[in-house]
Structure 1
Amino acid sequence: MKVSNETKIGLLTVIAITILILGYSYLKGNDIFSGSDKFYAIYNSVEGLSVSKPVLVNGFQIGRVSKMELQPDGRTIVEFKVEPKYKVPNNTLAKLESADLLGSKVIVFEMGNSKVYAESDDTLKADVQGSLAESLQPIQKKAEDLITKMDSSLAAINKILNPQFQKNIDRSFLSIANSLQTLEGTTKKIDNLVGSQTVRINGIMANAEDVSGNLKTSTSHLDAIATNFETFSNDLSHSNIKQTMDNANKAVADLQASISKINNGHGSLGLLMNDDKLYKNLTDASDNMNKLLIDLKAHPKRYVHFSVFGGKKD
């Protein structure tokens, strides 16, 4: 049987239209050849969301947006088609999240912990997360402020880095280089000086070591002296110092009383020191005694008479 060209063209046209319809349905999120579970969520705003956008769980696609319908109160009912092999707990949260910086949105299922699974045509809890651009607005503002400050800083740096300033910088670096060269020469001189004085330095170190040894010996003597002093201090602390001080104070008080009596003319010593008449009498008596002794030596017979045979007394 021969098929005419018109029949062939008609069959190709039907096949093409069928493929077109199926592709269009697939792009709209309608899966014709396999059954899918339908879930719904109601959002106040679905900006950036469109039909056929994916439904994700931790970044893995389990379905897609199949339908969106605006309600009289301004909210939007979104229908999701999820493959039946994926079970969705009934307390799952359907979050509307940003997919990129351009504002495109996707649905992300935040799986609940319920042991009861949602059935097809159930409505899930909805949540809207701020767009990525909105979340980056504070960072953008800070970045703009930082760029403004950087512009001001760069302008100030450009103002500072004028030709005169650059000349001064070059001059400063030249001075630093000269200073480093001078320092290098001084270091070499110091090295040479230290090398030539190595013997003396060794001698000084040896003397210092001897002094350290002598100091160590002196330290032992000082320890002995400190021990003796401590012993003396202990003996002194156990001695009757209070009684000795009381006796000394009493002796000083008696001495002061005696000196007071002498100054006031009491007693022989006080009269001798304060009475001129007594002093004169004692002086006269001393002179007479001296005269008597002189006369006695000169004329002993006037005062002493003796006879061997008992002669007559004058």
Structure 2
Amino acid sequence: MKISKEIKTGILVVLGILLFIFGFKYLKGQNLLESNNTYYTEFNYNALTPSSVVTVKGNPVGKVTEIKYDYATGKTRVAFLVNEQLKFSKNSKIRMYETGLMGGNGLAIIISKDGELAKPGDVLESEVEVGLVSSLSKNFSGLSSDLDLTLKSADTLMSSLNRLVKDDSNQGLKATIYELNQTLKSFKGTSNSVNSLIGKNDASIEELLVNFKTMSADLSVVVSELKEANLGNIIATLNSTLTNLNGVLDKVNKGDGTLGKLVEDEALYNNLEGATKELEALLQDIKLHPKRYFRILSKKEIPYEEPQTN
């Protein structure tokens, strides 16, 4: 059976209308090939667009389909579609958040499993997540004030630097640079003098280094000889000798032995001191009266007399 041109034309027109409706709905965020559910929420202001994404834990599950301003409440009512497989309770919240710095905003369903399951047509509670752009917009006045203070400080700093550069007094930057230049010149002259002195005394410095090297070698030999001389045994013997000497001194302090008694016995000391004085007097008398002790020089006995002291 042949189909007339009129029937073909009618079929094409109907298909065109259906395709137009499908495309229009798709652009609005509705997919006619999927079974979706419509829910609602409200915000104090609108920052969304039709077809804004709806996500759960970062996964897209639907799109915003309609945005209307409610003149009675002064709020923006947002209708959005989600897949019918998604189940959540009426206590869940719809959060508006920034999808990116340049990517606009979207809705996130913060699912709660408590309470009665939400049904298509329910109005869910909303909240707004503060993002970078909104934070900057709220704090722009503070940022501008801080920026103004920073610019004023920078201007003051530049003015101070300008005055410092133009200052021709002794305290100015020019005078400081001049003095620094003179110091560098002096340092350069000193460096040249040192280089000249080193150049003139290369031979002496070389000889000094040779002598130091020789002395280091001799010191190394001495250290080697000390190692070979068994310095440890010498120190041990010296330590033993000092220990014995300490024992002898301890006995002397206690009055043991002849030397100890001589040091500690005061009577013996006094006797020795008296005997010494008498011996000194005897020697002096012999020197003054030798005939008294040597009868060969004189037959007459000369009595003893105490020597006169001046």
Q: Same fold (TM over 0.5)?
A: yes
Q: Is the 8 A contact 1:94 1:127 kept in 2?
A: yes
Show the counterpart of 2:52. Answer: 54
1:243 aligns with 2:244: no
Quote the offset at 1:164 in angstroms: 3.1
Corresponding residue number in structure 2 for 1:213: 217
How far, CA to CA, are the matches of 2:204 and 2:35 in structure 1?
101
In 1, Cα distance between equivalents of 2:50 and 2:217: 97
Distance (whole Å) between structure 2 residues aligned to residue 143 and residue 231 of structure 1: 88
Moved more, 27-36 or 240-249: 27-36
**Structure 2 spans left out of the alignment, 5+ residues:** 1-12, 280-284, 301-310
2:237 alignment partner, one of 228, 231, 240: 231
Q: Distance in 2 between matches of 1:60 and 1:35?
A: 14
Equivalent residues in 2 for 1:1-314 (5 A)?
Answer: 26=25, 29=28, 31=30, 33-34=32-33, 36-43=35-42, 45-49=43-47, 52-57=50-55, 58=58, 62-68=62-68, 70=70, 78-82=78-82, 84=83, 87-90=85-88, 94-98=94-98, 105-109=105-109, 120-121=120-121, 126-130=126-130, 132-136=132-136, 137-138=138-139, 141-142=142-143, 144-162=145-163, 164-165=166-167, 168-220=172-224, 227-237=233-243, 240-241=247-248, 242-246=250-254, 247=256, 248-254=259-265, 256-260=266-270, 287=292, 290=294, 294-295=298-299
- 2:8 corresponds in structure 1 to none
Provide structure 1 residue ranges, at least 5 long, that are not aligned to the other structure. Answer: 1-13, 274-279, 297-314
Contact 2:94 2:127 in 1 (8 A): yes
- Residue identity opposite 1:233 in structure 2: N
RMSD of the alignment, in Å?
A: 5.3
- Sequence identity percentage: 15
Say which SS state the counterpart of residue 234 (structure 2) adopts: helix
Contact 2:44 2:74 in 1 (8 A): no
- Tell me the SS of whatever aligns to 2:37: strand
| TM-score (norm. length: structure 1) | 0.57
Aligned residues: 263
CA distance in 1, matches of 2:297, 2:180: 111
Aligned equivalents of 2:200, 2:221: Cα separation in 1: 34
Q: CA deviation at 1:215?
A: 2.4
Highest Rg: 1 or 2? 1
CA apart distance, 1:81? 2.1
SS in 1 for 2:86: coil
The SS at the match of 1:161 is: helix
Cα distance in structure 1, aligned partners of 2:47 and 2:85: 24
